[in-house]
Structure 1
Amino acid sequence: MFKKHQIYKIDNYNMLTVVVQGKTLIVREISDQWGEDCHTFVSRQEMLHWAKNRYRAEEFVGREDELAEIMHNLKEV
């Protein structure tokens, strides 16, 4: 049984989801700019480390609430 978490969804071409398969976390990132990217992690800590590097504060100037929501949703997985 897989459990899917929607981290954010702007539209069908810009979204981030996490699928939990036992101990494995599969992050699926879709963007209209880069296409689809999948990342597989064996722990929440590894996924959160990736997210901190992927979603940096300097990219969200003026949109700090959006960054906080993304990080909160990832921590809830």
Structure 2
Amino acid sequence: MIKKHLIYKKDKWNMLTVEVNGKTLILREISDQWGEECHTFLSRPAMMHWVEERFPKEQFEGSEEEWTAIMQAFKEV
């Protein structure tokens, strides 16, 4: 059974979801600039490593609350 987690959704063109399929984590990032990017991880630590590089706190373009909410959503996957 696949369990889908919504990390954020600004609109139908800007969102990030993670699907958990057994031990595999499938991260889909959809943006109006880049289209859809799909990343597959075999462990949560590997996914979190990608997340920390993708959303460095110092370079995040939103508020600290938004960044914290995104990090918390990933930790709950």
Question: Tell me, which stretches of 5 or more residues in structure 1 are unaligned?
Answer: none
Taking structure 2 as the reference length, the TM-score comes to 0.95
Letter matched to residue 51 of structure 1: V
Hey, what does 1:67 align to over in structure 2?
67
Identity %: 62
Runs of 4+ in 1 over 3 A off after TM superposition: none
Hey, what does 2:42 align to over in structure 1?
42
Hey, what does 1:2 align to over in structure 2?
2
Q: Give the root-mean-square deviation of aligned CA atoms.
A: 1.1
Q: How many residues align?
A: 77
Letter matched to residue 29 of structure 1: E
Q: Whole-Å Cα distance in 1 between the matches of residues 42 and 20 of structure 2?
A: 10
Deviation at 1:61, TM superposition (A): 5.5
Hey, what does 2:29 align to over in structure 1?
29
Question: Tell me, which stretches of 5 or more residues in structure 2 are unaligned?
Answer: none
Hey, what does 2:15 align to over in structure 1?
15
Partner of 1:19: helix, strand, or coil? strand
